[in-house]
């Protein structure tokens, strides 16, 4: 019998998408049609699925969607030219370049070329810097979704000890910055950490983003901790098929944690909902910067108030 409460990421994401749809309707009423451009280079099947899901959700909430699909042999200059065109287009509010990019393209150069105000992935170094400084910015979608789930589960996070397992630029590092901005004491673990299990076992909050199925089990978790499983791993199900599973060994962790996100149905839906939220935030920002446009509206709160 599982003791942990399952955190319903699908329900939380739907509530967020409903809010986004209302915001989009208000923007349209004011003559602004929020628009997200998604750029996919090559034919990686997983990336294709991610892009199709994002485009579907975009349309469902009333955001205009532009898909730019480029050949796998596209050179960096051609991709940068497309980014420059999208940056200059006042009808485009958000730009997302699906990662990974083919080897001939320098992903860092491409991310740096996106207008920071249209950077709905929050990967531009301006937005990374602003997040680190605790300033309002476009925040990477996956850690943003994790933070919202944690706040929904625990309320105020101030004073909690949070451990983030993984230090990637897209999940681990921004997650640590968000938790620090929410006044947690934060430890970040990685492949060179020596006493990872012991550190993790002292945490009130554990966010796992490693990419290795079941690498965190109950022996890593303090009784009553809240555990967010970011991992998405495809494993054999023993019947000749594959299934998705997280980085957390759910059967054992559910026995000790107070609450836990499932995979699928946890962080994944929140990631896409936060992408929609960022697109609305970007549209509001660009609209407010135009002459005779919307009255200035506050940025969408992310409970970062000090
Ligand atoms: P990544 O770039 O490969 O980073 C993995 C991190 O895990 C690295 O920082 C690595 O440390 C650390 N690590 C590796 N082995 C470890 C160990 N034994 N103990 C502690 N840390 C260890 O992966 P990512 O992009 O962050 O993604 C992580 C997982 O989240 C993947 O399964 C990915 O598919 C999933 N993901 C899900 C979503 C979603 O929407 N649900 C979004 C993004 C990613 P080093 O830095 O020392 O190498």
How many C-beta atoms surround the C-beta of residue 50 within 10 A?
A: 18
- Please list the residue range(s) of the chain that carry CATH number 3.40.50.720: 137-267
User: What is the average per-residue pLDDT within 5-17?
Assistant: 98
87-126 residue pLDDT tens: 999 999 999 999 999 999 999 999 999 999 999 999 999 9
In the structure encoding, which two tokens stand for residue 153, read together? 């589960």
* 210 C-beta closer than 6 A to ligand 1: yes
pTM confidence score: 0.95
Give the distance (Å) from ligand 1 centre to CA of residue 77.
30
Q: What is the pLDDT confidence band of residue 151, given thresholds at 50, 70 and 90?
A: very high
For ligand 1, the distance from its centroid to the CA atom of residue 195, given in whole angstroms, is: 18
Q: How far is the CA of 2 from the centre of ligand 1 (A)?
A: 26
CATH of 137-267, one of 3.40.50.720, 3.30.70.20, 3.30.420.40, 3.30.70.360: 3.40.50.720
Range in 91-95, 131-135, 239-243, 285-289 with the lowest mean pLDDT: 285-289
Task: For ligand 1, say whether the CB of 189 is within 6 Å of any of its atoms.
Answer: yes
Question: How far, in Å, CA of 86 to CA of 103, rounded?
Answer: 23
* CB 259 near ligand 1, within 6 Å: no
- Residue 60 three-state SS: helix
Q: Which of 210, 246, 247 to mutate to test the pocket of ligand 1 (most atoms within 8 A of CB)?
A: 210
Q: For the chain, how are helix, strand and coil distributed in percent, rounded to 5?
A: 40, 15, 40
Q: What is the pLDDT of residue 292?
A: 55
How high is the pLDDT of residue 133? 97
Distance between terminal CA atoms of the chain?
A: 40
DSSP state of 299: P
Question: Ligand 1, residues 141, 203, 211, 247: which to mutate, most atoms within 8 A of Cβ?
Answer: 211
Question: Do you find a cis peptide bond into 42, omega within 30 degrees of 0?
Answer: no
Residue-wise pLDDT for 247-297, tens only, equals 999 999 999 999 999 999 999 999 999 999 999 999 999 888 876 555 445
Element at 37 (helix H, strand E): strand 35-41
Which positions are catalytic? Answer: 54, 98, 121
Whole-number percent of the chain with pLDDT over 90: 91
Report how far residue 175's alpha carbon sits from residue 168's, in angstroms, rounded to the nearest whole number.
10
Is residue 145 lining ligand 1, measured as CB closer than 6 Å? no
Predicted local distance difference test score (pLDDT) of residue 197: 98
Which comes out higher in pLDDT, residue 5 or 289? 5
What is the Cα–Cα distance from 213 to 211, expressed in whole angstroms? 7
From 50, 142, 175, 209, the mutation candidate for ligand 1 (largest count of ligand atoms within 8 A of CB) is: 209
- Weakest-pLDDT range from 2-6, 39-43, 207-211: 2-6
Task: State how far the Cα of 21 lies from the Cα of 14, in Å rounded to an integer.
Answer: 10
Q: Is any ligand 1 atom within 6 A of the Cβ of residue 262?
A: no
Q: What is the CATH number of domain 16-115?
A: 3.40.50.10860
Residue 148 pLDDT greater than 70, yes or no: yes
Ligand 1 neighbour 122 (Cβ under 6 A): no
Mean pLDDT of all residues belonging to the chain = 94
pLDDT for residue 173 is more than 80: yes
- In the chain, residues under CATH classification 3.40.50.10860 are 16-115
Protein residue with least CA distance to atom 4, ligand 1 = 168
Q: What does the pLDDT read at residue 291? A: 65
Q: How is residue 172 annotated by DSSP? A: H
Place of tokens 């990421």: 9
Compute, in angstroms, the gap from residue 89 CA to the centroid of ligand 1.
34
Q: Does residue 274 have its Cβ closer than 6 Å to ligand 1?
A: no
- Checking if the pLDDT of 221 tops 50, the result is yes
- Coil, helix or strand at residue 165: strand
Quote the ligand 1 centre to 106 CA distance (angstroms): 20
Q: What per-residue confidence (pLDDT) applies to 304? A: 39
Say how many Å lie between the CA of residue 62 and the centre of ligand 1: 32
Tokens of 83: 């980014």
Does pLDDT of 300 surpass 90?
A: no
Would you say the CB of residue 141 lies under 6 angstroms from ligand 1? no
Q: What's the pLDDT band for 29 if we cut at 50, 70, 90?
A: very high
- pLDDT attached to residue 2: 60
């Amino acid at each position: 019998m599982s003791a942990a409460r399952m955190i319903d990421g699908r329900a939380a994401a739907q509530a967020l998408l409903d809010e986004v749809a209302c915001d989009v309707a208000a923007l349209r009423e004011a003559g602004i049609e929020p628009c997200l451009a998604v750029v996919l280079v090559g034919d990686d099947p997983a990336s294709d699925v991610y892009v199709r899901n994002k485009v579907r959700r975009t349309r469902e909430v009333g955001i205009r969607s532009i898909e730019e699909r480029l050949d796998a042999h596209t050179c960096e200059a051609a991709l940068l030219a497309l980014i420059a065109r999208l940056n200059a287009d006042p009808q485009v509010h958000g730009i997302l370049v699906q990662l990974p990019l083919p080897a001939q393209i320098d992903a860092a150069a491409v991310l740096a070329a996106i207008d920071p105000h249209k950077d709905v992935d929050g990967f531009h170094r301006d937005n990374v810097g602003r997040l680190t400084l605790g300033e309002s910015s476009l925040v990477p979608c996956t850690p943003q979704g994790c933070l919202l789930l944690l706040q929904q589960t625990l309320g105020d996070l101030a004073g909690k000890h949070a451990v983030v397992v993984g230090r990637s630029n897209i999940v681990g590092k921004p997650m640590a910055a968000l938790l620090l901005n929410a006044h947690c004491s934060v430890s970040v673990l990685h492949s060179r950490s020596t006493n990872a299990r012991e550190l993790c076992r002292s945490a009130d909050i554990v966010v796992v983003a490693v990419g290795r199925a079941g690498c965190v089990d109950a022996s890593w978790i303090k009784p009553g901790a809240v555990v967010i499983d970011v991992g998405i791993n495809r494993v054999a199900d023993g019947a000749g098929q594959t299934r998705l599973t997280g980085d957390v060994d759910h059967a054992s962790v559910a026995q000790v944690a107070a609450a836990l996100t499932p995979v699928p149905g946890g962080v994944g839906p929140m990631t896409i909902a936060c992408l929609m939220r960022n697109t609305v935030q970007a549209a509001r920002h660009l609209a407010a910067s135009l002459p005779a446009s919307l009255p200035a509206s506050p940025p969408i709160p992310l409970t970062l108030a000090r």
